[in-house]
Structure 1
Amino acid sequence: MNHMNPASADSDSTLPHAVVSTDSVFGAPCWVSLTTRDLEAAEAFYTAVLGWTFRTGRLGERFRTALAGDVPVAGLAAVASVYRMAVAWTPYFAVPSADETVARSRERGGTTAVGPLAFPPGRAALLADRDGAAFGIWEGQLATGWEEWRKAAPVSVRLHTRDAFDAAIFYGEVLQWAGGGEGCCEVQYDGAEVVLRSGGETVARIHSGALGQAPDPTIRPHWQVHFTVDDLPACVAAARAHGGTVVRWEDGAREAVLTDPDGASFTVREGAAE
């Protein structure tokens, strides 16, 4: 399952490696992966919509590494049907120890779907928080370095959940946010959202509606991956032309929610990532 591997670009895998380790940016998103049923359709779609190219991972024809230029930026895996997994984009967070992170998640009511498993030069696991939102963790070296990854394909992630405060406590404890140590993330409260920053950049948000409101029972908690594009109308048009669906977008808006031909949801935003 090398879609879980945020490393090994040179070794033809799809999880993140380089000289920068997860110790330097722990708690921050460091990779994103797509679980799909139709790899060829996904390749054609994301080539047209995001301009990516692809290469095959060493684990076989079911796996691809997406490249922006020559920089690995995401993993794709056609395993949704084989392993009965949801078709979805999933963020992976950098951690110093996968074992310790999984233990903290379990202690706080989270669940473990896969792992931790070894994917040299690192280890990965797929988890879910106590409200069911799936996320991954990665311990090890990062693909081309965290800053280069973010520059090549600017990405941020937003958790849509029922209770932002409760979620922030869970992730803060599990991923060791705001611990004060070198490399850890900073947490701030911004209106209706909890904002996660790393190295001065906004890398994640947790949203549940206006602060002080009661939790919304109609929300299905999930992490939404946001990609930055130069031309949003062209991106939306390409998505429509290649079998995708426009879930939400208005002319003049800087952000659109799309689904790919297999139904995986993601957001594209024109301009700087937020």
Structure 2
Amino acid sequence: MEISAKDVFGAPCWVSLMARDLEASQRFYGAVIGWTFRPARLGEGFSVAMLDGVPVAGIGALAADLAVPVAWTPYFAVDDADVAASRVRERSGTVAVGPVSFPSGGRAALVADLDGAVFGIWAGPVSAGWRVGKGPAPAWLELRTRNAFDAALFYGEVLEWATGRPGCCEVSYEQEQVVLRHDGDPVARLDSGPVEPGAYNPYTRPRWHVHFRVPELDAAVEAALDLGGRTVSVVTTTGTERSIALRDPDGALFTLTSGG
């Protein structure tokens, strides 16, 4: 079942990976997270990851052709991709690709915020079953940036957060983080910290970071290492949750979490 991006405007609505080798990425994430895959409507260079019969993420073998880094990218729902892209430019962000039209009837653009963190905007149909923190969708999204308050102002103006418009996302400050909520549920966190534009270290480069939930963390990490992934952090424990950051064989950064 699909709904309009207008029904969830401002909220995360999808995540995608720009990979170098589509088949290798499918093998890796299938073994690590348990995804299966079906062809996407965009062509043979794209696939949709499925978990429990629900679309979870997109993977496209485009990184080599476009000379872009291999990375997981979150997309946020907007009413009008062209208007949102103009807001990005007006606020000194960067529009890297688009807006372009897709066969599904939507329009999208790949953009970057003031500190260079890349994200996407999407205007079109979205999966009604896809929601951060719910079911098979990512557990949460996290922005690591220089100043979370400045970032919240940028994203708020681009994506219409906390505008008072019915259905908009709300922003609060909780435990030294800016927290984005949609319908009362947390969907993203913005963290302040030391960052270095262009730095290799995933903890010092401004970026959006995707957290995926798995049933058994140790088994998932073992599968990742067996297929050429590598860890970039130690296992951390918060309450009943355990998590660890990894890179896939192409270098894409993500976090696995279990428990909770």
Q: Quick one: distance in 1 between partners of 2:236 and 2:153?
A: 37
CA offsets 1:213-272 (integer angstroms, 9 cap, x no match): xx6557321000111122111111111111110111237671110111111000111135
Point out the structure with the larger strand share: 2
Q: Give the match for residue 242 of structure 1.
A: 227
Q: Is the 8 A contact 1:71 1:149 kept in 2?
A: no
Q: Find 1:176's aligned residue among 151, 154, 160.
A: 160
Alpha-carbon separation, structure 2, partners of 1:174 and 1:271: 34
Amino acid at match of 2:223: A
- Alignment partner of 2:72: what SS? strand
Aligned to 1:268: 256
- Using the TM superposition, give the Cα deviation of residue 118 of structure 1 relative to its aligned residue in structure 2, in angstroms: 1.2
Q: Tell me the residue number matched to 2:137.
A: 153
Tell me the amino acid that sits aligned with residue 106 of structure 1.
R
Aligned counterpart for 2:86 among listed residues 79, 94, 103: 103
Structure-2 residue corresponding to 1:206: 190
TM-score (norm 1): 0.86
For 2:166 and 2:135, the matched residues in 1 are separated by 22
Secondary structure of the residue aligned to 1:151 is: coil
Give unpaired runs (5+ residues) of structure 2: none
Contact 2:132 2:139 in 1 (8 A): no
The equivalent of 2:214 in structure 1 is 229
Change (3 A) 1:148 1:248: closer
For 1:10, the equivalent position in structure 2 comes to: none
1:149 Cα deviation from its structure 2 partner: 9.2
- Relative to structure 1, the CA distance from residue 101 to residue 235 in structure 2 (aligned partners, 3 Å threshold; closer, same or farther) is same
CA deviation profile, 1:154-208 (whole Å, cap 9, x unmatched): 4311011111111111001111101122221010011321100111211101101
Alpha-carbon separation, structure 2, partners of 1:147 and 1:245 = 28
The two structures have a TM-score, normalised by structure 2, of 0.90
Aligned to 1:14: none
After superposition, the Cα gap between the structure-2 partners of 1:251 and 1:132, relative to the gap in structure 1 and judged at 3 Å, is closer
1:9 matched residue in structure 2? none
Q: SS where residue 62 of structure 2 aligns?
A: coil
Superposed CA deviations along residues 54-88 of structure 1, whole A, max 9, x for unmatched, are 11223332211111122111100111110111100
Asked whether the equivalents of residues 23 and 183 of structure 1 are also in contact (C-alpha less than 8 Å), the reply is no
The one-letter code sitting in structure 2 at the alignment partner of 1:62 is: G
Cα distance in 1, alignment partners of residues 117 and 186 from structure 2: 20
The size of the alignment, in residue pairs, is: 250
Question: In 2 relative to 1, CA 270–196 (structure 1 residues): closer, same or farther, beyond 3 Å?
Answer: same
Give the C-alpha shift of residue 100 in structure 1: 1.2
Cα distance per residue 1:117-157 (max 9 Å; x no partner): 11132111110011111000111111244449942324311
Which range is displaced more, 146-155 or 72-81? 146-155
C-alpha contact 2:5 2:78 (8 A) present in aligned 1 = yes
- Determine if the alignment matches structure 1 residue 68 to structure 2 residue 56: no
Cα offset, 1:37, TM superposition: 0.6
The 1-side partners of 2:105 and 2:135 are apart by 22
What is the aligned-residue RMSD (CA, Å)? 1.9
Runs of at least 5 residues in structure 1 that lack an aligned partner in the other structure = 1-17, 210-214
Residue 170 of structure 2 corresponds to 186
C-alpha contact 2:101 2:107 (8 A) present in aligned 1: yes
Q: Is the contact made by 1:36 and 1:80 (CA closer than 8 Å) also made in structure 2?
A: yes
Give the AA of the match of 1:191: Q
> Is the contact between residue 172 and residue 178 of structure 2 (CA under 8 Å) also seen in structure 1?
yes
**Partner residue of 2:6 out of 9, 23, 40:** 23
